[in-house]
Chains A and B, each alone.
Chain A
Amino acid sequence: MVQQMAQVGKLLIGVWMAGVAAAMFLIVPQYEGLGNAGRIIIMHVPTAWVSVLAFALSAIFSGLYLWRRKPAYDDYALAAAEGGFLFTALATITGMIFSEVVWGVFWNWDPRQTSIFVLLLIYAALFALRSAIDDPQRRRQLSAVYALFAFVTVPFLVFVAPRMAESTLHPNCVFIQGSHCDGITLAEGRIGLLGDHKLHLLELERQGDVVTAHVLVGEPGLARETLLRPSFNLATGTMMDRPEFPGVRYQLGLERVDLASNSALLNIEAPGTGVLANRTTLYTFLASTTGFTALFIWMLHVRATLLGIAWTLAQREGVRL
Chain B
Amino acid sequence: MRALFAAAWAVFVKDLRSELRTRYALNAMVLFAACTAVMVSIGTTFIGLRRTDEALLIQASLLWIALLFAAMSGLARSFVHEEETRTLAALRMAAPPLAVYLGKFLFNVAILVLLSIVTSLLFIIFVRVHVASPLAFLAILAGGGLCLASATTILAAMIAQASFKSALFAVLAFPLLVPPLVVAIQGTALSLGDGGLALALPALQFLLAYSVATFVASLMLFPFVWEA
A residues with a Cβ closer than 8 A to B are 66, 114, 118, 121-122, 124-125, 128-129, 132-134, 137-138, 141-142, 144-146, 148-150, 152-153, 156-157, 159-160, 163-164
Contact = CB atoms under 8 A, between A and B. Distances in A.
A146 B172 contact: yes
Contact of B210 (A129, A133, A156): A156
Contacts of B27: none
A149 B161 contact: no
Contacts of B172: 125, 128-129, 146
9 contacts: A121-B174, A125-B171, A134-B163, A146-B158, A148-B221, A149-B217, A150-B176, A153-B210, A159-B209
A160 B172 CA distance: 20
Instruction: Identify which of B176, B225, B227 gathers the most chain A CB atoms within 10 Å of its CB.
Output: B176
A124 B168 CA distance: 11
A114 B180 CA distance: 13
Contacts of A164: 182
Contacts of A145: 154, 158, 221, 224-225, 228
A137 B228 contact: yes
Main secondary structure on B side of the interface with A? helix
A164 to B, nearest CB: 7
B9 interface: no
B206 interface: yes
A153 B158 contact: no
B213 A156 contact: yes
Contacts of A132: 159, 162-164, 168
B78 interface: no
A145 B153 CA distance: 13
Interface in B193-207: 206
B228 A142 contact: yes
Contacts, number: 96
Contact of A152 (B163, B164, B213): B213
B88 interface: no
Identify the 8 closest CB pairs spanning chains A and B, nearest first.
A121-B175, A132-B162, A156-B179, A141-B228, A152-B217, A122-B175, A138-B228, A153-B176
Contacts of B221: 145, 148-149
Interface string B165-195: 0001001101110111011001000000000
Contacts of B161: 133, 138, 142
B119 interface: no
B151 interface: yes
Contacts of B214: 149, 152-153
B183 A163 contact: yes
Contacts of B154: 145, 149
B36 interface: no
B168 A163 contact: no
Given A133-B161, A159-B206, A125 B225 contact: no
Contacts of B168: 128-129, 132
Contact of A66 (B158, B182, B217, B224): B224
A18 B162 CA distance: 44
B218 interface: yes
A114 B179 CA distance: 9
B79 to A, nearest CB: 13
Contacts of A153: 151, 176, 179, 210, 213-214
Nearest to B175: A121
A27 B29 CA distance: 61
A118 B178 contact: yes
Given A122-B175, A159-B209, 19 more contacts: A121-B174, A132-B163, A133-B162, A141-B225, A142-B158, A142-B162, A142-B228, A145-B154, A146-B172, A149-B155, A150-B175, A153-B176, A156-B179, A156-B209, A159-B179, A159-B206, A160-B178, A160-B182, A160-B183
Contacts of A148: 217, 221
Contacts of A138: 161, 228
B129 to A, nearest CB: 22
Nearest to A123: B175
A141 B224 contact: yes
Q: Which of A122, A128, A137, A145 is the most central at the interface, judged by chain B CB atoms within 10 Å of its CB?
A: A145
